[in-house]
Amino acid sequence: MRYAGLRLSPGGAGSAKSEGRLTAVYRIRCDAASIAARAEALAVEQSVEMPVAAIDDCFVLDDIVGQVAAISQIDDDLFEVRIALAAATTGDEAGQLLNMLFGNSSLQDDITLHDVDLPESMIAAFGGPRGGLAGLRQRVGAIGRALTCSALKPQGLRPEALADLAGRLARGGIDFIKDDHGIANQHYSPFAARVPAVAAAIAVANAATGGRTRYLPSVSGTLDDLRAQVAIARASGVDGLLVAPMIVGLPAFQALSRENPDMALMAHPAMGGAARIAPPLLLGKLFRLFGADAVVFPNYGGRFGYAPATCRAIATNARAAWSGTAPSVPVPAGGMTIERVPEMLDFYGSDVMLLIGGSLLAAREKLTDETAAFAALVRQHSFR
């Protein structure tokens, strides 16, 4: 590393630790006669992006140009292509990893990014969740059962109204209360007023019930904003956050995780527009890689069109053994109701967090009772 003395920042690309190649797995819709050429073009597009014949640098030709590792046919006009890309091109930086995986090819609408295999050195460099499933269980003292979560809504409510809702959810014995992902730092409920108020209401409820409900406020904006918000959250005794990685940007999400190893990060899928990147990859694997302790995703049979197999694959990627990284907690959500709790627990098992938002809030004056019923159903479920 000739220029090691010129590194911009510790942990930045200048100190990259990854070696070897990662494998990006794409699916390309085209005819059989074209697939070999399409695969070669994709390997070039996602690496040097210029005619290989015009390159004479041996390092670039040997170590940087993408290589087609495999092509297999999935269907009549659908192929899976595995491309080996140099790990060094990513600098172990989240934004640049996605740039290498799907930067230009995201603009080609017959290509989807399906999966990725990363070298151990890169997984170690990113590090994955700092606490993950175990950290979230420990916070609320929940062993051998699923976790529960609800959401503060609607955006537009003043801090005192949100705090009132939070207190009532906490009295019902919910494990986690997250902000709706639409709650940011709006003038009618600024972060600096809202978060202390909600945290205090939850603390009062916990003191009254002996409960351990935790608050996950939504953080947003630039890295400066995120840091200011984390400081306010810490001062309010908060030890977890909700964040939408595709909204704040992957580099900021990675920095948030790296700077706050003691904060549980719940990742929200907003702007995850999963049509072109397979949801099990983006939500289950990449968000986990970059540090998500829990991952919210649309459950099957709710307001979003995800199939059960997609949801199972997201949960599998979030929890599976993966080079020593902590498992993330899958959080199926999106129009869930208490009636579906037993079915969802049977489907996902106990290493899950069930998130019911609007349908609890619809109970209005019976919010605490309804929350208690939800918590009891989860506690009492027996896994077959």
Of 12-41, binders to its own copies (CB under 8 A) are 12-16, 41
Contact status: 181 vs its own copies (CB under 8 A)? yes
Q: How many angstroms separate the CA atoms of 176 and 261, rounded?
A: 19
Map the footprint of its own copies across residues 110-139, applying CB under 8 A. 110
Q: How many angstroms separate the CA atoms of 99 and 93, rounded?
A: 10
Contact status: 221 vs its own copies (CB under 8 A)? yes
Q: Tokens in use for 150?
A: 């609800």
Alpha carbons within 13 angstroms on the beta-carbon side of residue 355 total 26
Contact status: 88 vs its own copies (CB under 8 A)? yes
Contact status: 78 vs its own copies (CB under 8 A)? no
**Identified binder of its own copies from the candidate list 324, 362, 369, 379, rule CB under 8 A:** 362
**Identified binder of its own copies from the candidate list 157, 216, 233, 278, rule CB under 8 A:** 157
> What angle do helix axes 94-102 and 250-259 make, rounded to 10 degrees?
150
Q: Closer to its own copies at the Cβ: 71 or 223?
A: 223
Contact status: 207 vs its own copies (CB under 8 A)? no
**Identified binder of its own copies from the candidate list 248, 286, 329, 355, rule CB under 8 A:** 248
Q: Closer to its own copies at the Cβ: 138 or 222?
A: 222
Q: How far is the CB of 85 from its own copies (least distance, A)?
A: 10
DSSP-derived 3-state class of residue 5: helix
**Identified binder of its own copies from the candidate list 30, 67, 77, 95, rule CB under 8 A:** 95
Contact status: 275 vs its own copies (CB under 8 A)? yes
E-strand ranges in 76-213 read 78-86, 111-117, 147-152, 176-179
Contact status: 57 vs its own copies (CB under 8 A)? yes
- Cβ count within 10 A of residue 112: 21
Q: Closer to its own copies at the Cβ: 270 or 372?
A: 270
Would you call the peptide bond into 154 cis, given omega within 30 degrees of 0 as the criterion? yes
Contact status: 266 vs its own copies (CB under 8 A)? no
Contact status: 272 vs its own copies (CB under 8 A)? yes
Residue whose C-alpha is closest to residue 24's, from 327, 287, 281, 312: 281
Q: Closer to its own copies at the Cβ: 49 or 120?
A: 49
Contact status: 308 vs its own copies (CB under 8 A)? no
Residue whose C-alpha is closest to residue 195's, from 154, 249, 240: 240
Q: Is 262 left (phi over 0), alpha (psi -120 to 50) or beta?
A: alpha
